[in-house]
Structure 1
Amino acid sequence: MSKKFASEDGSFKRQVSSFRETISATHPIYKPEKGRYWLYVSLACPWAHRALITRVLKGLTSVIGISVVHWHLDEKGWRFLPYDDSNKPDDVSFTPSAELKPYDELSNSGVENHSIRYGTDGTIDHNYHFERLSQLYFKSEPEYSARYTVPVLWDLKTQTIVNNESSEIIRILNSGVFDKVADPHPDIDLLPKELESEIDEINSWVYDNINNGVYKTGFAEKQEIYEKEVTNLFKHLDKVESMLKGRYETLKTTHFSEEDILKSFYLLGNQLTEADLRLYPTLIRFDPVYVQHFKTNLNTIRSGYPYIHLWLRNLYWNDKAFHDTTNFNHIKWHYTRSHTRINPLSITPLGPSPNILPL
């Protein structure tokens, strides 16, 4: 796939999401019900990763089902694994409560862009047996003409897309509208009122300069634009590092061990918030992919940012919602084999090894 991601001036422009509805008890159409809604996701996509993490954190794995697209993105967009009625794949009986296969270190040898391994390369479309995510978009809006992005929050009752903007999907899932039907889970609010303004402020510069900053760097098609974007990206990573260093030093005055510190080691307050959730998917991909693939190589997280590195490993190793939704195979295969304009030979680097260091 040699698709251009940059505009004529050589800079990356992100598409604006099209479907922006919500779910609430007072909504005239989209009301909270168990089994009514479905998430379509990619394990490689950081925007979809936010929704997957939130789904687990809020106890919604038996409330909202998921289908996972194949990691390879071709010129027609995302695809599902094929459904054959005469030879039904193993995951046809997939239920909303089913968990994804845990990540393991698979060799890159023998992995092809058209590999079909159910539960490893992706899943079928459990609801309509569609071949392509695009078919879902056209089912919802026959005249749709933009890109077919993930995540998609789908309503099985009206058979339409409720929302395809990840920042809004995670707020829908966090809002508490599904609390009556949710699984037992820690009482967590990712957007507490007393921190909302600070969360929004952090999200605004993290999104533009880090979440999207890695893409603006990696998809730049002129040297001067690349240098401008990569410099700006690391300027804001420095800002995150300074924030986390301050948090650590403050916690050290009231906690007796690092184990105790890590229980409260987040960007804001002493609790996990949406600010952590929205930063994590970018930074967990940083060393394994972005450093080499997007040329964000002024430094690495593990070598140059000790407090970010500790924060990242704490989330990954100490919280199943983060650990179990992070699939390094999908992440590395997708970027290195889908962006042939950047990596024309589609060779996937073996390193770094390991993808994330122990805590």
Structure 2
Amino acid sequence: MGFLQDGKWNDSWYDTKSTGGKFVRSTAGFRNWITPDGAAGPTGESGFKAEAGRYHLYVSYACPWAHRTLIFRTLKGLTALITVSAVHPDMLSDGWTFSTDFNGATGDDLFGLPYLRDIYTRAMPDVSGRVTVPILWDKERGTIVSNESSEIIRMFNSAFDHITGNTLDFWPEAERHEIEKVNERIYDTVNNGVYKAGFATSQDAYDAAITPLFDTLDWLEERLSKTRYLMGDNQTEADWRLFTTLARFDLVYHGHFKCNKRMLKDYPNLWAYTRDLYQTQGVAKTTRFDHCVRHYYYSHDMINPHRILPITPELDWSEPHGRD
């Protein structure tokens, strides 16, 4: 996970010495919004109108943040409107690459470039920051719309509805306050919590992350004993933001990130809930467990220096979930 400084590549990991061993996630650098008429969104500038064929999504199948955007692209009927390129699961000294010697890695379908960082410098030659996925690219203006997954899924949720006629709403106005409260806790202690535990370089930093993670999983288990989804009978963005972490939990985070107090399958409600979401039409096709296992165990040599790929738990994702 290197970074660009004034457009130059630096192969350096996160600096945890200055934070007492704690992993601190960088903020996204591109925060524009696609809107139905091209007007400016909550952040960024105007000029990004929702149009069929105009936008391209760069993802990693391994990355939970990018996975969110693939799911929303599917659920909102945008697969024919927004094209996709998927990076190779290995993230080594050159960061994310467009190598194609792994099933599902597509290469760069727009420009044929070798590295994901080249997409950033194409948008801004002197850019500084981490080279992350997802990236939402505007083919017309030749720049990055956004690299913030939580905002990309909200664009996908509504900006193209007048084109697709798909009015599924995962961000209903009446529930936004409660969704935001749930999102905040899940982001801090689960979505980012597994990384704070896994990338910790001191015992104190690990201990500070691991307890809130399992406290929240216990809280979710209890919450989901009463409702099918986090907000009730209908799926919302809170479910999909949580799902992409849960889908990787037993295969990766339990072992690789030392989140091993319990496995997801030890939680009856959470495990059934995760299968319920996975079995939603189209979601399985966005989920590549082979990319997940390969990426984390092979790329993070500071955690797994010999790059040994483990035998993984046998999980039956097609098992009936019983949450209808």
Same-fold call, TM cutoff 0.5: yes
2:108 corresponding residue in structure 1: 125
2:54 corresponding residue in structure 1: 36
CA distance in 2, matches of 1:355, 1:122: 25
1:113 corresponding residue in structure 2: none
Q: How does 1:198-347 map to 2 (within 5 A)?
A: 198-247=178-227, 265-303=228-266, 305-317=267-279, 319-347=280-308
Q: Which has the larger radius of gyration?
A: 1
Give the fraction of aligned pairs with identical amino acids, expressed as a percent.
43
SS at match of 1:320: coil
Task: Specify the code of the residue in structure 2 equivalent to 1:243.
Answer: R
1:75 corresponding residue in structure 2: 93
* 1:167 equivalenced with 2:130 (yes/no): no
CA distance in 1, matches of 2:38, 2:291: 38
* 1:178 equivalenced with 2:160 (yes/no): yes
Task: Specify the code of the residue in structure 2 equivalent to 1:144.
Answer: V
1:271-326 Cα offsets, whole Å, 9 max, x none, are 010010100000000001100000000001102x1111110011112x13321111
1:157 corresponding residue in structure 2: 140
CA distance in 2, matches of 1:271, 1:315: 11
CA distance in 1, matches of 2:275, 2:218: 18
Match of 1:190 among 170, 173, 191: 170
C-alpha deviation, 1:166, in angstroms:
0.3
Query: Structure 2, unaligned stretches of length 5 or more?
Result: 2-10, 40-45
With 160-169 and 23-32 compared, the bigger mean Cα shift is at 23-32
C-alpha deviation, 1:44, in angstroms:
0.2
C-alpha deviation, 1:357, in angstroms:
6.5
CA distance in 2, matches of 1:39, 1:222: 36
C-alpha deviation, 1:245, in angstroms:
1.1
- Is the CA contact 2:38–2:50 (under 8 Å) kept in the aligned structure 1? no
Task: Specify the code of the residue in structure 1 equivalent to 2:314.
Answer: S
CA distance in 1, matches of 2:247, 2:38: 37
Match of 1:142 among 95, 117, 125: 125
**Higher RCO (C-alpha 8 Å, min separation 6):** 1
1:122-157 Cα offsets, whole Å, 9 max, x none, are 012111111111111001111112111000000000
Q: What TM-score, normalized by structure 2, do the two folds share?
A: 0.90
Q: How many residues align?
A: 302
RMSD: 1.6
* Bigger proportion of residues as strand: 2
SS at match of 1:189: coil
CA distance in 1, matches of 2:245, 2:316: 14
Query: Structure 1, unaligned stretches of length 5 or more?
Result: 83-115, 248-264
1:201-249 Cα offsets, whole Å, 9 max, x none, are 10011001100000000001111221221111101111111111122xx
- Is the CA contact 1:39–1:64 (under 8 Å) kept in the aligned structure 2? yes
1:81-140 Cα offsets, whole Å, 9 max, x none, are 36xxxxxxxxxxxxxxxxxxxxxxxxxxxxxxxxx14xx140121111111111110011
1:351 corresponding residue in structure 2: 312
1:49 corresponding residue in structure 2: 67
Task: Specify the code of the residue in structure 2 equivalent to 1:195.
Answer: E
SS at match of 2:260: coil
Task: Specify the code of the residue in structure 1 equivalent to 2:107.
Answer: I
- Is the CA contact 1:243–1:267 (under 8 Å) kept in the aligned structure 2? yes
Q: What TM-score, normalized by structure 1, do the two folds share?
A: 0.81
C-alpha deviation, 1:6, in angstroms:
4.8
Using a 3 Å threshold, how does the CA distance of structure 1 residues 228 and 358 change in structure 2: closer, same or farther?
Answer: same
